[in-house]
Each structure stands twice: as C-alpha cells, then as structure tokens.
Amino acid sequence: MSASAGPSTAPEGCAHAPTEVTQREYVTRLRQLTVWVVGVGVLARLFRYALDGSIWNDEAAVALNLLRRDFGGLTHALDERQVAPVLFLWAERAVMLVLGSSGLALRLLPLLFGLAGLALYWDFARRAARPTAAAFAIGIVAVARWPVMMSSTLKPYTADMLCSTLLMALAVRWRQNPERSLPLVALSLVVPFCLGISYPTVFVAGAVSLYLLPAVWQQRDRRSVALFACYNLAALSGFVAVYALVLRQAGDPQTADLKEFMRAYWKHGFPPAGPLDFIWWAVKIHTGRLMSFPWGDGNGGSTLTALLFLTGVWACWRSGNRSLLVLCLMPFALNFAAAVLRQYPYGACTRLSMHLAPAICLMIGTGLAHLVESVPQLRKRLAAATAVLVVFALFGAGEMIADACKPHREPYGRWMQGLYRELEPQLRPGDTVVYRCPIPNQRETFDWYAGRVAERAASLGSATGSGRVWVIVVTATTPGYDLERELVAGLGGAWKTVSRTEYTTVPISRGHANIYGIVHALERSDPE
C-alpha cells in the first residue's frame, strides 16, 4: 500500500500539529537563551559604570584613605570608620597611581571583578546543576540588582562574589574529575590571595574543604591527599596572615571607635539570645535582603525567593546530590557561627552577604527549575523556561532604565560632582582651595570632591605672585554665611572678591534637606 493511500491520521483541525523537541534541542535552546540573558547582564554592568554616577559617602570614605596613604599606610586601621582587605586596597591604590582618582578609575576594579565573577559563575553553575537549573542560576546572577550595582561601587563586594565563585568552581571541577590534579593545585595557589582580597571568603574556603574531604577519603590517592593537605595549609596560612594583620590593627588609635561603630552597624546581623526573638530574627533574615536575588527587599520582601531557595534545597536532597548541599549550605553555617561570636554579621545586609550569592542563586535556580521540570512535555517545558529567562532579561533592561533615570545614589553627591566639574576648568596655577562641609554623614563625600579640586589646583603648579583662594562652603537647611566669613577672616591680610556664587539645590528624594553652597573666589588686594 502506498504511503498516500487511506484517510489521513492527523486529527481534524490539526494538520500541522506541533512536534515534540528533543532533549538536545532543549539544552541547546536553553544555552542560547542564557547567552542572551548574560549579554543583558554584561551590558547592565557596563552601562551603570559608564553613567559615572557621583561617588557616594561610603565610597568616598574608602577613596580618602587611598588618596592619603601609601601602601604601607593601608596595612593599618583605616580612617573614616572603614574596613577593607589589604590586597583590595593595594590593588585600588595601584590603579589610582596609574589611572588617576576619577570615579571611573576607582570603580574599574569592581567592574572587572563583577564581569569575571559572572564568567566564572557560568562555568560553576553548568557543572554543578542540571541544564535548566544552571540556566536560571546564571540568569539570576547576570541581572540581579546587587551584583550589577556593586560592579560600579568602590567597595570589595564584587571581589567577595568573585573569590567565592572561583573556589566553588574549582572544587566542583575536581569532584567531577578526580583524576585531574590541576583544580586542586589551582585551589592551593589562589586561596591565600582570595582571603587577602575578601574577608568573608574564609567561610567558603572552609566549606570547600568539607566538600572535598569525602572524595579525597574515597580516592585515598597519595597525590590527591597531598594536594588536599596543601589546600588546607594554604587556606589556614592565608587566614592566619589576615587575622594577624587585624590583630596588629587593634593597636591603632582608630580601632576603638571603629569597633563601636561596627557593632552598631552590624547589630541586626547578630542572632538574639531569646528563643522567640531568635525565631523571629531568623524568619526576617531569610525572607529579607539575604535572599534578594534577582529582586526582593527586607521585611519579608524576599519571601518568594526564600521559598524557591528551600525548594532547591529539597530538590537537591531528593535527587541525592547532597555533596552540593554541603558546598552551598556550609558557608551559611560558618557565617552563622561567626555571627554568634559577634565577629561577622549574618544576612542582614545584601552587600555584606555577597560571598553567599553564588550558593543562593544556585539554590533559587534549582528550585525554579524543579517547578518548570514538573511540566511533562519538553516543548511546553521549553516554553516555560523561555518565559522565565525572558522575564530575567526584561528585568535587567528595566534596571538599566532605572539607572539612567537615577544615576546618583545620593543627592549631595550629585551636586558635589557637578560642582567639581564646574570649578575644574576655572582653576589657574597658584590657586588654593579652602573648604568646609558640616553636614552629618556627608563630610566624606564633600571632602573627596573638594579635595580633588584642591589636588587639581596643586597639580597646576605655582605662579609668580599670589594666586587666588577658593573658599567653598556647603551646608544643609540654612546657608553657611557665618562659616564663610570665618574662613575668609582666617586667610589673613586684605582680600577682594573675584567671583562669588551661591547655590541652592532641592533634594531629589524625600527626607533630605536642601543643600546650600557658596563658592567664593578671592585674590589679594595688596599683592606682594
């Protein structure tokens, strides 16, 4: 009988019924979609960096230490109530000496750390999880608000995520192929540097050791045992070196005030003693900013992602992939132990929990994938996975729009950055700058920008005769006329006004006072 004989077997109205996709086609399509989402994430990081938003208060505090100190001075306790790993500070200081002190130069390293962390996470997730879970986890890391925002922030938070991802990726590589020694060798080489550039990576380093131990014990290969011992010795040596430096800094005069400030700043990340208080604290922490990937907030704003995280943990346990749970959950346990000892906060702030982000995103991605993979048909499952990844891409695009609308974190910083850019071309050789900013919690930002004006004036060199003096006063609520008169009187001698400009800036967000600025340029009326 010919193939065309007989009635058609296709259902009525379904002459072109959709064909089922193969597993290979499903994985290929997922990979293509993931590449697009990662592209959005890379673009979001570069876009935010290129906006060159003003240096905000916390960044300015670090930048002032970089500007005022040499490499040796950065090994001591920092001014402005700041804490940062010494290798991070040295790297930033080197960049400043080569590229200058602009915002783009200072944020270059965090940007590179953020991009490298995203690339490493691709390798880690695709080896540690099934294709759907890996695609979702990579997508979350690519567009999540905090990894993107921290990639343009002069703080070591992207280094925290990069170092944690690096250690976890190397550990998974060796567990999957114990015959290859290179990942263990690499772990031994990089772990001291990771601990020197990222304090909380020590929790991940400890988790990696526990993750590798059963496989090393099962192998009982001399080479593997020796390399595993080298890794632990390198991790311990790095930790001891960092801890010895911290102990030495305890004798510096800034340390006592810093400790009191950090206790107050970290208090929400330390577990309370009472059982009911502890339960409520644990619920708030785990449904708050700790789980805000790709979105979420405090006060229960991350409940959905917390539930997906728990679903991912349950799915890993049920599938028998319990070694991955050791790698992903043990950093939480070690971090929590440090919080009990009041040494490092647990989960109260996303910025201070970036070392946990690789594990958080992997478990959230696994939980989301568990729901999608409950769809029986691959074609419909692919449609659901596509919808999830498209939502991630749209979220990343939306964040870029939000950044374009509001590129500055603080209203004061925006105005001060504009003032610096306005004054810089007016400076002449021999000019000096006198400035004051008695605004609580904003002095560092003003000191940074006004200091850069003074630095720029000094770089122009001296001039014959006396140069001009720029008196800059910035106040909140009321203009600083009295402070201006005080600074001018302190110059001594007779001066005449060259130019004088007053600024009043309405704050861009509720709760901030108006900014009043006075820029008064003077020259001697009796030049010598």
Residues 6+ apart with CB under 8 A from 492: none
The pair of structure tokens assigned to 262 is 């950090």
State the DSSP H helix or E strand holding residue 123, giving kind and residue range, or none if neither.
helix 108-128
- Cα 136 from Cα 315, distance rounded (Å): 15
- Cα 265 from Cα 352, distance rounded (Å): 11
Cα–Cα distances in angstroms (integers) from residue 518 to residues 14, 172, 439, in the given order: 77, 59, 14
Residues paired with residue 505 on neighbouring β-strands, in sequence order: 515
φ, ψ dihedrals at 505, nearest 5°: -115, 125
Strand order in the sheet with 469-476: 432-436, 469-476, 515-524, 495-505
Residues 6+ apart with CB under 8 A from 442: 57, 410, 412, 476
- Cα 423 from Cα 450, distance rounded (Å): 10
210 and 330 in contact (C-beta within 8 Å)?
Answer: yes
Minimal CA–CA distance to 312: which of 243, 237, 360, 363?
Answer: 363
State the DSSP H helix or E strand holding residue 331, giving kind and residue range, or none if neither.
helix 322-340
Q: Where are the alpha helices (DSSP H) in 441-513?
A: 443-459, 481-489
Using left for φ > 0, alpha for ψ between -120 and 50, and beta otherwise, residue 511 falls in left
Local confidence pLDDT in tens for the 528 residues of the chain: 344 444 444 454 455 556 778 899 999 999 999 999 999 999 999 999 999 998 888 899 999 999 889 999 999 999 888 999 999 999 999 999 999 888 999 999 999 999 999 999 999 999 999 999 999 999 999 999 999 999 999 999 999 999 999 999 999 999 999 989 999 999 999 999 999 999 999 999 999 999 999 999 988 888 999 999 999 999 999 999 999 998 888 888 878 888 888 888 899 999 999 999 999 999 999 999 999 999 999 889 999 999 999 999 999 999 989 999 999 999 999 999 999 999 999 998 999 999 999 999 999 999 999 999 999 899 999 999 999 999 999 999 999 999 999 888 777 778 888 888 888 888 888 888 888 888 776 778 888 888 777 777 777 665 545 688 989 998 888 889 999 999 998 888 888 999 999 988 766 566 667 888 899 999 888 655
- Cα 517 from Cα 457, distance rounded (Å): 20
